[in-house]
Amino acid sequence: MDIELSADDLKFRDEVREFFQSHDYKPGEDYAKWRLDWFKAAREKGGWDVPKWPQEFGGPGWSPTQHYIWEQETARANLPWDLPFGVGMVAPIIMTYGSKEQQERFLPDIRARSVNWCQGYSEPGAGSDLASLKTKAELTEDGKHYVVNGSKIWTTMAHIADWIFCLTRTDSSGKKQEGITFLLFPMKQEGIEVKPIITLGGSHTVNTVHFTDVKVPVENRIGEEGKGWTYAKGLLAHERTGLAGVSRSLVALEKLKHQAGTVKRGNGSLFDDPSFRGKLAKLEVDLQALEFTELRSLARAASGQQPGPESSILKLKGTEIQQRIAHLTMEAAGPHMAPWGGVNAGPKFARGGTQSYLGSRAYTIYGGASEVQKDIIAKNVLGIRSQGGSN
């Protein structure tokens, strides 16, 4: 898709590219120091370290086009490692629903990347049906603390997290979406046990977390007791928009085209094969259509609105496209993709391909399974309601 850029937009794009080039990681450099220096330099540019934050909280105040340019350029650049749970997920909730004291307490450390966060949402019996969560938070008699008991699962990076933002059940008397309370508390304290889960792709990124009589001060509650479901829905919209990975998929698709051109097929390459080219073309058309949806979402955010049902469209189609790219990469490498972790006899891009492909199977599950996204789209975009009610 071609976006007509103004002279100012082109100047901004050049400025972004120059920044990435001048602050790129150099081999042998202390990575931890480079990472912190990169974010410091980005902050000095006027909020580039928190591009999606509102101006009132230190964000850059970019136009939708500038956000689009940033997403395109970051997909190609060598950026420092950064978890999304702090800057991209819990920070917008604290900004919107947290108290002034909570904003002053938590946002500076989140922005400085000095505190790692994880997300306590899914449970063994409450995955896609998140509102069925059973982790309890009971208020002490003196009203100063909640005591949390229960378990969370698929908790990404819980093993390195300093804090968790957690959905808890404070009331079971009404509808399951009611009586849910949003709490923040440290991970390094008595009563919290983290157990690793090794994924199909062979990595340790997710965990099971058990809470036993964990004490949480009342001042660590976000907003009102029992209103956590409302806050959680806003956070999920931010998460789903990020999981779509449109810009990353655009770069990955271009790379796949190049890779296909290096695989010999008859007198030419795999890229010359009509069947494979047809699959690439269909994928590219779907990706361009999704890119337009992302631009609408960026325009909505730039006008100060919260992400709407388009975040579900982005998550649904974006993760499916990522899986299709992983599948076509497997197809391009053929039998050379089979070895696991060793030195491949075939093209270089085949190395690690099986692990990436297997890992991609989770894309359409985490952050809200595809079936959940289809329900949201049916209700909020198409106006289709179930016969059983109007939830």
CB atoms within 10 A of CB 28: 6
Point out which residues pair with 126 in neighbouring strands: 123
| Rg, the chain, Cα only | 22
- 372: its two tokens: 């959940």
Half-sphere exposure of 57 (CA within 13 A, CB side): 22
- 251: its two tokens: 């770069």
294 is catalytic: no
CB atoms within 10 A of CB 188: 8
Point out which residues pair with 207 in neighbouring strands: 196
- In angstroms, the CA 320 to CA 331 distance is 16
| Amino acid letter, residue 252 | A
User: Nearest CA to 135 among 203, 70, 191, 73?
Assistant: 191
Point out which residues pair with 183 in neighbouring strands: 166, 221
3 state SS of 234: helix
Q: What is the DSSP letter of 82?
A: -
Beta-sheet strands, E only, within the chain:
117-120, 136-139, 145-153, 163-169, 180-186, 192-198, 204-217, 221-222, 264-265, 268-269
- In angstroms, the CA 384 to CA 266 distance is 51
Query: Which of 123, 225, 239, 291 does the annotation list as catalytic?
Result: 239
3 state SS of 242: helix
Q: What is the DSSP letter of 55?
A: G
- In angstroms, the CA 351 to CA 348 distance is 6
3 state SS of 280: helix
β-pair type (264-265, 221-222): unpaired
| Residues with catalytic function | 239
